[in-house]
Amino acid sequence: MRLLCIAVIAVSLQLAAALHSRNELPQAVADGYHPARSGSVILRSTHHKATDAVASLIDDSHYYFASPTETDVVPHALPITQVADVRARSLGLATPNPHAATEFVRNDLFRRPKANVLLSVESLGEESVSSYALQRVRALLDRYPTMALSEQAYPPSPLSTAATLATGTQPAEHGIVSGSWKSKGANGNKVAAYSSSDSWSQRATTADVLAQTFDGQPLLVSVSADAQHANAFGVNPHLSARQSRNAVNVALKEGSFRAMQSGATFSDSFTASQSDLLNALSSTALFAGNGVSIDVRHLQEPTRSITVHYPTAKTVTFDLHQPAEATFFAELMYVESMGAILRSHKLSAAVADTVPDLITVSLTGLTGIIEMHGRSSPQAIAAMHLLDVAVPQLLEQLTSVYGDRAVSQLVLLGSHRSFADAVDPRDVFNTVSRLLPTGVADHKLYYPQLYIDSANVANLCRVLSVELDKLAFDVYCPDPATAAASGLLASPTALFQLSESTILATNLKATNSTGGASVFRYQIVLWLSIILALFVLGAAYSLAWMSFKKDTLLYSTFNPNWEQRKRS
């Protein structure tokens, strides 16, 4: 009997230790947890692996690096929060993270590029580039300094990743934990990110800081077929009562690409109908090369389809009546047209001035193809090959608008989430449905987060930990009060709004800590030059206006009549 009691106690202690260790949040989960927006319970497969996101620094004009040998100091991995630091530093701005390890990027106030162009591709990553032999994208990644993006937050979400790239902060700070979340008020409604001022990012983007630093003069363009991604990288219209006059966030809405909430006078220049963009497929050269070609003989109604030929002699037909397929092609065609838009008369002055510009393009159409047909379907593979030939051309076209005065980044946000979690969640749904019979639809909608409306979350969490352990899932139940007290949010239930003074204070603080060297050097050179110039002007003035009269000392010494006067 005594041995049985000892055994029971030992098992209980082991179980308690296991539950305690699971309640100690891994760093990735802590980085992704926002007290006011995240679920009460977070599930993670023990087989989960971080997405294979990478960033490549593309620069042929030596703005990033003074010489090719300097690329040797580029790290193999870069924290995902520091991509924003790279963009800011390249333009001579203050970096969002004072201690960012981005010294490998030149921060020269006297030689900075006119524009920074970022092109991100959703559902494409290092693994899919290698698996499907995407040769042109691979050539870009091999030619230029490329870094794996580390320290990614959990749960993974392309939109939260985009917000992290734009703000330089994790979801725990910027608050975009997913494309949508469940409000924690009495109604418990679904809240879509960027749908209102309360659901916007809680941290300033690089575009916000650039607009504030240069008083709304920079050209700030964020384009995507998905409105949330366009807003994630763009200027926050709710941040300031005074809108940036040269900022546009462009997305596909109601059958047309158009600017959203823009105060720019040229916003109508960015309008293009999806139908016209698809018709332009008949004359484009964007999808030619490397064994890829398109057949547009059936592009017009009623068929409205195109056939794609890609390596290994395979052929796939895309039905442009399908929203996902039409969006994929329209997005690429719109980005191809951006070169002409930026060169147009209305934007020529903004492109030609000396104020730095920020251009961001987020390609999200591949996700719709994969979720419609499957990640290994012929349609998804054909779409990846189309991106393979299109992405290098799009980057070149966008940067060529600025001649040799632009730098760019290619960011692959990572292969589709089905690559990261090769686990069928249906068994998890069944277990959750059995233990928590109410609100099952919500659990599927927000997976892997569970929004449990119960005061007894701790007990439910223990039960879920035991049951889901059989399915190789870890269960984490963050404490909102602890997260709020740690500085993630002033109040777990109240969101705060940034102000221009907040951005300015952050910008100045970061300038003093990281970007100050070049500013101080500039001030020293400037004022020493002014002082020396004043000395030179003073000397020239003195010589020019010197009076001509006899010097009494010299005159008395060298008087030619002195000797004669002495003899007499």
pLDDT number for residue 531: 93
* pTM of the predicted structure, to 2 decimals: 0.83
Decide if 151 is inside a domain. yes
Cα gap 514→154, rounded to integer Å: 29
Alpha carbon 215 to its chain centroid, in Å, reads: 22
Q: What is the model's pLDDT at position 11?
A: 43
What's the confidence (pLDDT) of residue 481?
Answer: 67
- 3-state secondary structure (DSSP) of residue 51: coil
Predicted local confidence at residue 530, as pLDDT: 94
Per-residue confidence (pLDDT) for residue 537, from 0 to 100 = 92
CA dihedral 416, 420, 426, 427 (to 10 degrees): 180
DSSP 513: I
Flag whether 494 is in a domain: no
The pLDDT tens digits for 254-269 are: 999 999 876 778 889 9
What is the pLDDT, as a whole number, of residue 325? 97
Find the domain containing 72 and state its range. 54-168+203-420+499-516
Residue 536 lies in a domain: no
Domain presence at residue 399: yes
Phi-psi domain of 248 (left: phi exceeds 0; alpha: psi -120 through 50; beta: other) = beta
The SS3 call for residue 527 is helix
- Phi, then psi, of 90 in degrees rounded to 5: -65, -25
In angstroms, the Cα distances linking 146 to 71, 76, 116 are 10, 7, 17
User: Does 529 reside within a domain?
Assistant: no
- Residue 8's pLDDT is 42
**pLDDT at residue 563, as a whole number:** 54
Note the pLDDT of residue 295: 94
Cβ atoms of 458 and 477 within 8 Å: the answer is yes
Q: Is 182 contained in some domain?
A: no
Virtual torsion, Cα 563, 565, 566, 568, nearest 10 deg: 130
In a domain, 511, yes or no: yes
Structural tokens at position 2:
């005594």
Residue 36 lies in a domain: no
Contact criterion met (CB below 8 Å) for 155 and 445 = no
| CA dihedral (340, 346, 347, 348) positive or negative | positive
The total number of structural domains in the chain stands at 1
Instruction: Kindly give the parts of the chain with pLDDT less than 50.
Output: 1, 3-22, 485-515, 568
